[in-house]
Amino acid sequence: MGLRTVLADPMLRMLAAAIAFAAIFPALGEARNVAQTVANVAIFVLFLLNGMRIARSDIAAGASNWRFLLPLVTWVFGAMALTGLALASIAEGVLAPSVALGFLYLGTLPSTVQSATSYTSLARGNIALSVVGAALLNILGVFVTVPIFLALGGSGAGAVGMEAVGKIMLLLILPFAIGQAVQGFSTAFIAKHKPKIAWIDRFAISVAIYVAFSGAVEQGIWTRVDGIDWLVIGMLVAAFLLVGNLGAWVAGGALKLSRQDRIAFLFAGAQKSAAVGAPLATILFPPAEAGFIVIALLLYHFFQLVVAAPVASRLAQSNLRGDGDCAVPTTES
């Protein structure tokens, strides 16, 4: 799996299309209100489907594996959040304030279920543990991302008040709870329409990105973030990715996890979810700010796929050769 395979990813293509469409035809004025309404409905449906898909039995099973789960939660919402804070501090004074704040926001986000699971499978890791771990991180992220973000000093141009809390309850937590409640009746439906549901996920994330970037375009993102800024952002994202992957791998070794569990810890611990981050940004921040804040997230999302593919392949080859648990993954071909 190389760069060509990553670029063929439907989600990446839809994100690129959403950004391009926002650059050419940004949603302004009344059109923004319409686009925001469509995004809100799509976000509600996205989290409703998440509630239907994540089995209650898996949640219970994962919650009982504290030896894996507690360190994973600590790594994702502790170490990664503090790394984001450090990078945001470095970026202050160099990048636009909202862009710098995006690194803190990125650090507080949960893992992405689909990518973490896919690359764990490719690397011949513990797939079941990866699914449960990433799913539980996503559930926790709905509740803890915003408090951690605020506790570490994040707010942005718009204060995160009761209106934002109400939107989180209405658009994220309520539909997820409904999905969990009707899960016994929806299992067959979800299994039957899985390919179509995947496109609903992608559409919801893309609409959220379109709304966010429309606001950024209106604020002159292409003039406020110049070539040097993009280079700095890319370097900081690469540093974040290095800390995320190397740190998660070392942490898994320090915990003396089996190789399969350590692989699951790596991909669940280093990935960051655009599926949570993009919709949440449109709820938390005004359009003029959201588009700048998600820049780091979108670049990280792309870079994590580019890095994860060769790392997973190398780990799979290492497993077939019977190498020891202490082999450190690299991106060498």
Domain boundaries along the sequence of the chain: 3-321
Beta bridge partners of 95: 92
Quick one: pLDDT at residue 36? 86
DSSP assignments along 273-333, one per residue = -HHHHHHHHHHHS-HHHHHHHTHHHHHHHHHHHHHHHHHHHHHHHHHHHT--TTPPP----
Quick one: pLDDT at residue 237? 96
The matching CATH number, chosen from 1.10.260.40, 3.40.50.300, 1.20.1530.20, 1.10.357.10, for 3-321 is: 1.20.1530.20
- Can you tell me the distance from the alpha carbon of 19 to that of 75, in angstroms, rounded to the nearest whole number? 31
Quick one: pLDDT at residue 162? 59
Q: By C-alpha distance, which of 250, 302, 295 is closest to 271?
A: 302
Which range among 113-122, 131-140, 236-245 has the greatest average pLDDT? 236-245
Tell me the three state secondary structure of residue 35. helix
| Average pLDDT, rounded, for the chain | 83
Quick one: pLDDT at residue 328? 43
Tell me the three state secondary structure of residue 95. strand
Comparing 59 with 290, the larger pLDDT belongs to 290
- Residues 273-277 have a mean pLDDT of 83
Quick one: pLDDT at residue 58? 65
- Residues 85-93 have a mean pLDDT of 93
Quick one: pLDDT at residue 108? 94
Beta bridge partners of 92: 95
Comparing 317 with 236, the larger pLDDT belongs to 236
- Are 123 and 310 contacting, i.e. CB atoms less than 8 angstroms apart? no
- Can you tell me the distance from the alpha carbon of 133 to that of 76, in angstroms, rounded to the nearest whole number? 11
Quick one: pLDDT at residue 160? 52
How many CB atoms sit inside 10 A of residue 4's CB? 7
- Are 139 and 111 contacting, i.e. CB atoms less than 8 angstroms apart? no
Q: Largest alpha-carbon pair distance within the chain?
A: 61
Quick one: pLDDT at residue 8? 65
Over pLDDT 70: what percentage of the chain? 87
Q: Is the pLDDT of residue 282 over 50?
A: yes
Quick one: pLDDT at residue 53? 77
- Residues 135-162 have a mean pLDDT of 75
Q: Is the pLDDT of residue 218 over 70?
A: yes
- Can you tell me the distance from the alpha carbon of 281 to that of 243, in angstroms, rounded to the nearest whole number? 24
Task: Tell me which amino acid residue 173 is.
Answer: I
pLDDT class of 327 with cuts at 50, 70, 90: very low
Tell me the three state secondary structure of residue 225. coil
pTM, two decimals, is 0.79
Q: Is the pLDDT of residue 329 over 70?
A: no
Q: Is the pLDDT of residue 52 over 90?
A: no
User: What long-range pairs does 237-242 form, CB within 8 A, spacing at least 24?
Assistant: 237/296, 237/299, 237/300, 237/303, 238/303, 239/87, 240/83, 240/84, 240/87, 240/103, 240/106, 240/107, 240/296, 240/300, 241/270, 241/300, 241/303, 241/304, 241/307
Q: Is the pLDDT of residue 7 over 80?
A: no
